[in-house]
């Protein structure tokens, strides 16, 4: 096999309850919480739409269209930001399928938002990787895949647009194995390409699935087959394609590993389905795959101990905050992944960071296009909690226990700029707006130890423009960004005496983030190396745990 089994850390081995662990209660075991990762244009929106269609959450295809973030010009993006109602309700979608509760968490589509994406992926138990059959593994797919790999997330692959000219099946599989260093096993095998694409042979269930090009919302015709020698095959597949199918599958059996659930759950083997989202083809088989093989809600890393989903007490953590969903009210919604227990509306939970109780009286569940009041939810579910800013990314909610979820980092920005209000009298307003975006995780905001003003840090350049537009839209404040002398930021931690000494000696390079933690700003990698040499007791870090 190409993918070498990676050495498992003690932590992941301990957390690994998918195989030999005792059974979860049925309500929890039936939950599947996942995200879709893909390169823009591969078909994520279309696939999402078909999921919702089969999940009975929407009546008609086309309703999710408004939220597809990919391929957008900047002005489209701004418009979408204005329509926050739409983009927000699409952040997490719940629907039922075949006795399972699916929670689909949307990953931000734009490549600029890698940090947001990373945190989103901390809230799911599996990912579906969508690739375009003609294009194979593209850059954004690769990046997102690497993020999934950091957490050994199980990956299901959907090779889309098979109704068009696509690459050779083995070649696509080979590319995934080579570029992503993961074993691939065919869950289905395409028959014919482009115009001649007939459908797929369902390898896992020995079925023939035939695509109906005439009706895009129709589920494929499915014919039970007794293996590849079944004479029924010839009734539906022309001789030359049948011969090719048998040859290719024989080759695949020799060259590729068979499906193995353990390897899949370990993240070292991905089953691949071939289909066409727009023709609703292959989608249901993929959903069956998630339902049947997909991981149940997994344990959550936390300190001082991990949280198991079957614990009686409710625990959850904030992985995303979205502010100003309604510009008329300054409310925010914190997206909480439930890590354990059975949550009921009105419950009082402890906000661990401040040790304050919070009555969760109006939580929302995200059912496709509408927000709905959540009466109850279980480990694995995502609920939205409207609040006035108390809830921040990385916060943990419990029934009183002092336990904090870990592994939700904040990354050092790669681009820094100074920011000021167009009207100098509005500096205080600007500070308020900036702090709020910092809490939302939309940008890093640093207050220099010397002088006035703020420095804003982002991961991608587009974020500056989105930020400027939101500050203007939501706070009525025109702002200006200007070049900063700094290009890198590092959080500094260490013993207090040493830290104070360092801060005093480097005042012109020190800023404080929105939590008040010191950050070293510089233009030179050389500076960072020098400090690590001169202050061996200090740690300079490009990431920070958010809590
Ligand atoms: P996203 O950017 O990944 O969300 O991709 P979309 O779902 O918006 O799809 C991008 C484009 O590909 C749209 O024009 C879709 O209509 C088209 N598309 C999606 N699925 C298929 C498919 O199975 N076959 C073909 N031919 N086109 C598709």
Which helix (H) or strand (E) segment holds residue 224: the answer is strand 221-224
Peptide bond between residue 304 and the one before it cis (omega within 30 degrees of 0): yes
Cβ of residue 43 lying under 6 Å from some atom of ligand 1: yes
The alpha carbon of 91 and the centre of ligand 1 are apart by a number of angstroms equal to 20
Cα gap 1→181, rounded to integer Å:
9
> Cβ distance 521 to 511 under 8 Å?
yes
Q: If you measure from the C-alpha of residue 67 to the centroid of ligand 1, how many angstroms do you get, rounded to a whole number? A: 13
Give the residue, 541 or 57, on which the prediction is more confident.
541
- Residue 314 Cα to ligand 1 middle (Å): 39
Residue 154: the pLDDT is: 97
Q: Is the CB of 410 under 6 A from ligand 1?
A: no
pLDDT at site 256: 96
The response to whether 315 counts as a known ligand-binding position is no
Contact 415, 459 (CB under 8 A): yes
Look at ligand 1, atom 14, and give the residue with the nearest C-alpha.
41
Ligand 1 pocket, residue 140 CB under 6 Å:
no
pLDDT digits (tens, 9 = 90+) for 396-427: 999 999 999 988 877 778 889 999 888 888 88
- Tell whether 160 is in a known binding site: yes
For residue 335, the CA-to-ligand 1 centroid distance in Å is 28
Question: Binding site annotation covers 212?
Answer: no
> Is the minimum distance from the CB of 39 to ligand 1 under 6 angstroms?
no
Ligand-binding site membership of 108 (annotated) = yes
Q: Which residue has the higher pLDDT, 148 or 441?
A: 148
Q: pLDDT value at position 100? A: 94
Q: How far apart are CA 124 and CA 85, in angstroms?
A: 23
pLDDT of amino acid 133: 97
Please tell me the residue having the least CA distance from ligand 1 atom 24. 161
Nearby residues of 141 by Cβ (< 8 Å), 6 or more positions away? 37, 38, 39, 42, 129, 130, 131
Q: Is 38 in the pocket of ligand 1 (CB under 6 A)?
A: yes
Q: Are 449 and 511 in contact (CB under 8 A)?
A: yes
Is the pLDDT at 516 greater than 60, yes or no? Answer: yes
pLDDT at 82: 44
Mean pLDDT within 126-146 = 93
Average pLDDT (119-141) is 94
ipTM value greater than 0.95? yes
Does position 189 have pLDDT exceeding 70, yes or no?
Answer: yes
Distance 522 CA to ligand 1 centre (A): 43
User: To which H or E segment does residue 531 belong?
Assistant: helix 525-534
Structure tokens at 104: 């689909």
Is 163 touching ligand 1 by the criterion CB < 6 Å? yes
Read off the pLDDT band of 22 (50, 70, 90).
low
Could you tell me which of 307, 482, 524 has the C-alpha nearest to residue 398? Answer: 307
Side-chain half-sphere exposure of 411, counting CA atoms within 13 A: 15
Neighbours of 500 (CB within 10 A): 12
Identity of the highest mean pLDDT range in 360-369, 436-445, 506-515: 506-515
- Name the pLDDT band for 32 (thresholds 50, 70, 90): very high
Query: Does the Cβ of 164 fall within 6 Å of ligand 1?
Result: yes
Rounded Cα distance between 169 and 154, Å, is 22
Could you tell me the distance, in angstroms and rounded to a whole number, from the CA of residue 78 to the centre of ligand 1?
22
**174 assigned binding-site residue:** no
- Asked if residue 179 has pLDDT above 80, the reply is yes
Atom of ligand 1 nearest to the CA of 40: 2
Provide, rounded to the nearest whole percent, the portion of the chain with pLDDT above 90.
54
Q: Which atom of ligand 1 is nearest to the CA of 49?
A: 7
Whether residue 202 is predicted with pLDDT greater than 90 in this model: the reply is yes
d(CA 91, CA 88): 5
H/E element, 173: helix 169-180
Mean pLDDT of 331-343: 91
Candidates 225, 219, 220, 221; CA nearest to 207 is 225
What is the mean predicted confidence (pLDDT) over 33-40?
Answer: 93
Question: Per DSSP, what are the bridge partners of residue 350?
Answer: 357, 398
Token pair recorded at residue 499: 């830290």
C-alpha 471 – ligand 1 centre gap (Å) = 33
Lowest mean pLDDT among 155-164, 188-197, 537-546: 537-546
Residue 397 β-bridge partners: 316, 351
Helices (H) and strands (E) in the chain, counts: 16, 33
Reduced DSSP (H G I as helix, E B as strand, rest coil) percent helix, strand, coil of the chain, to 5: 30, 30, 40
Lowest mean pLDDT among 146-160, 265-279, 325-339: 325-339
Residue 383 has pLDDT above 60, yes or no: yes
User: Is the distance from the beta carbon of residue 136 to the nearest atom of ligand 1 less than 6 Å?
Assistant: no
Residue 54 parent element (H or E) = helix 44-54
Ligand 1 centre distance from Cα of residue 45 (Å): 7
Residues 242-266: pLDDT tens digits? 999 999 999 999 999 999 999 999 9
| Res. 41: pLDDT tops 60 | yes
Percent of the chain with pLDDT over 70: 84
- Answer yes or no: is 43 a known binding residue: yes
pTM assigned to the model: 0.80
């Amino acid at each position: 096999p190409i993918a070498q089994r990676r050495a498992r850390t003690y932590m992941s081995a301990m957390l690994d309850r998918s195989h030999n662990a005792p059974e979860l209660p049925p309500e929890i075991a039936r939950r599947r919480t996942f995200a879709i990762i893909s390169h823009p244009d591969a078909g994520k929106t279309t696939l999402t739409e078909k999921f919702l269609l089969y999940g009975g959450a929407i009546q008609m295809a086309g309703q999710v269209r408004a939220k597809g973030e990919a391929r957008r010009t900047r002005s489209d993006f701004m418009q979408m930001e204005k329509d926050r109602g739409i983009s927000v309700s699409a952040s997490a979608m719940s629907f039922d399928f075949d006795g399972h509760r699916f929670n689909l968490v949307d990953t931000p589509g734009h490549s600029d938002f890698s940090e947001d994406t990373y945190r989103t992926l901390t809230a799911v138990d599996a990912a579906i990787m969508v690739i375009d059959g003609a294009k194979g593994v593209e850059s954004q797919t690769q990046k997102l895949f690497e993020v999934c790999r950091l957490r050994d997330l199980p990956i299901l692959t959907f090779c889309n647009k098979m109704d068009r000219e696509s690459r050779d099946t083995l070649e696509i599989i080979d590319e995934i194995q080579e570029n992503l260093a993961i074993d691939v096993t065919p869950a289905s095998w395409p028959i014919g390409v482009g115009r001649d694409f007939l459908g797929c042979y369902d390898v896992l269930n020995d079925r023939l699935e035939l695509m109906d090009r005439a009706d895009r919302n129709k589920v494929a015709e499915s014919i039970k087959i007794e293996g590849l020698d079944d004479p029924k095959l010839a009734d539906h597949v022309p001789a030359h394609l049948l011969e090719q199918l048998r040859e290719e599958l024989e080759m695949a059996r020799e060259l590729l590993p068979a499906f193995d659930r353990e390897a899949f759950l370990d993240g070292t083997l991905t089953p691949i389905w071939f289909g066409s989202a727009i023709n609703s083809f292959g989608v249901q088989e993929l959903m069956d795959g998630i339902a049947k093989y997909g991981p149940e809600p997994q344990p959550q890393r936390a300190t001082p101990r991990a949280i198991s989903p079957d614990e009686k007490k409710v625990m959850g953590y904030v992985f995303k905050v979205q502010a100003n969903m309604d510009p008329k009210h300054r409310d925010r919604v914190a997206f909480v992944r439930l890590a354990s227990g059975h949550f009921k509306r009105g419950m009082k939970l402890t906000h661990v960071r401040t040790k304050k109780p919070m009555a969760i009286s109006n939580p929302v569940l995200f059912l496709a296009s509408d927000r709905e009041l959540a009466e109850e939810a279980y480990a694995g579910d995502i609920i939205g909690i409207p609040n006035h800013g108390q809830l921040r990314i990385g916060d943990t909610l419990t029934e009183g226990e002092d336990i904090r979820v870990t592994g939700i980092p904040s990354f050092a920005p790669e681009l820094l700029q100074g920011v000021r209000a167009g009207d100098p009298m509005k500096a205080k307003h600007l500070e308020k707006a900036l702090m709020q975006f910092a809490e939302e995780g939309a940008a890093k905001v640093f207050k220099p130890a010397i002088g006035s003003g703020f420095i804003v840090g982002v991961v991608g350049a587009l974020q500056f423009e989105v930020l400027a537009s939101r500050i203007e839209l939501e706070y009525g404040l025109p702002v200006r960004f200007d070049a900063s002398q700094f290009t890198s930021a590092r959080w500094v931690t260490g013993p207090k005496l040493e830290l104070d000494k360092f801060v005093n000696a480097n005042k012109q390079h020190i800023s404080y983030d929105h939590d008040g933690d010191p950050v070293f700003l510089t233009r030179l990698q050389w500076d960072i190396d020098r400090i690590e040499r001169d202050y061996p007791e200090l740690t300079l870090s490009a990431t920070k745990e958010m809590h």
